[in-house]
Chains A and B, each alone.
Chain A
């Protein structure tokens, strides 16, 4: 079953897409041309260009932040907040159906 995800863009406006389970949300964002999520390193934890804020209760459902991700988030474009994640590290899963993400200003 695909899961639905919505990105709120920095200038306002949203993009929504149905994503296959197992795909990471950076890839989903770039396939849907979500502005400011570029994923330059292809999900290798080397660039921090897929930084997003995970809204509300969804944050706890997206899993733990790894050591490298934590370090990368410190250098990510846009201000780091408690709900910051690198979207290449979040895998689509039926439990995340309805996920709300906000794209930081670069």
Chain B
């Protein structure tokens, strides 16, 4: 059975958030990969850009940070240099500057540190699932997928439980800032530039800035060393410390990135279980499937549909010239369905191995810092979910987020029978 069939004509407007509200336009990406792998994309909202859609092209370019820089922004939308400086995190820098900041953060999110949280994640999953599975029909994004990542991030970072619902809301408003269900400041329909110096051009960014500052001060006063923030505040190997601005921007990034990318991976995994009934059986069988299942679910989901770079010099490719200063988008959502790399890419194969998908922006220095946590959360959630189910099916059509940057199912009605 097919999980979901794309409905776009093959000529969808990749710059339109509305396009993605009907799901990723995979017919368009398939055509571009075949006929026009370096596609000059017209963009009404700003400078036109190059769309790169093939797996093999993205993996080569993503490494090449000298030619394709992150330091002019990482989204399709243009921003002035002034806005860029105020809002940037280490995502919007290149090596060696990027490496220096990343070194201070990496230790807190290493696989070894994350493994220590496995039991915490399992306990949280139990709590969330016992709550959700009390009903036969419910919205799985709302009751399952939306719950785990933020509560877990709260534990890891050392945030008070009572602040978590507020943080989930702010995180939604930051990244899903183009979906009216999540923010009243819909970014491409804004009539004000009041928040343009704030992270994600959002009033939520301002509130998170204030929260982070207060949190830091309180932790310092109380000598509180719980959570990874403490690790982040330790001097790096070279003695350097994270600056206050770096910290606050990083905190916003944590809330935004930690909130909805894992959420939409979980939602996409549950969606797949609804339409490929064999998946539940394979999960229940367990064993080696858990070495490969999370990466396949995360490939299937591809919550970060693209990242943008800017060319620093001319670059020849597929008989065309990318000029210095041109924007270039790496469409990970397309690369993860590239059938020259993935056999039967529109099927979820929990045993897929090797599975070198690009959902974490692999093959470049900006590879997701939270990837170990994401993999662990997805694995444990599906272990605990499958254990408790004997059947799951859709209870109506699902709805996608209105965003060409975050690919996700914001409403996923399911019917279940408990095991």
Interface residue ranges, A against B (CB under 8 Å): 30, 33, 38, 40-48, 67-68, 70-72, 74-77, 106
Contact = CB atoms under 8 A, between A and B. Distances in A.
B75 to A, nearest CB: 21
A101 to B, nearest CB: 19
A106 B362 contact: no
A33 B112 CA distance: 22
B365 A71 contact: no
Interface stretch (B58-66, B81-89, B201-209): B58-66
Nearest to B353: A33
Chain A contact surface mostly: loop
Interface stretch (B5-13, B100-108, B326-334): B100-108
Contacts of A72: 103, 106
Contacts of B238: 67, 71
Given A40-B367, A72-B106, A33 B354 contact: yes
Nearest to A46: B365
A45 B364 CA distance: 9
Interface residues of B, number: 28
B107 A75 contact: yes
18 contacts: A33-B354, A38-B356, A40-B360, A41-B365, A42-B364, A44-B63, A44-B99, A44-B364, A45-B99, A46-B98, A46-B102, A46-B106, A46-B367, A71-B103, A71-B237, A71-B238, A72-B103, A106-B111
Contact of B237 (A40, A45, A47, A70): A70
B236 A46 contact: no
A77 B106 CA distance: 12
Nearest to B371: A40
Chain B contact surface mostly: loop
Contact of A77 (B112, B356, B366): B112
B95 interface: yes
Contacts of B364: 41-42, 44, 46
B110 interface: yes
Contact of B363 (A41, A67, A77, A106): A41
Given A42-B363, A44-B63, A74-B107, 4 more contacts: A40-B363, A44-B365, A45-B95, A46-B365
A46 B314 CA distance: 26
Contacts of A30: 356
Contact of A41 (B96, B103, B111, B367): B367
Nearest to B63: A42
A84 to B, nearest CB: 14
A68 B62 contact: no
B217 to A, nearest CB: 28
Contacts of A44: 63, 65, 95, 99, 364-365, 367
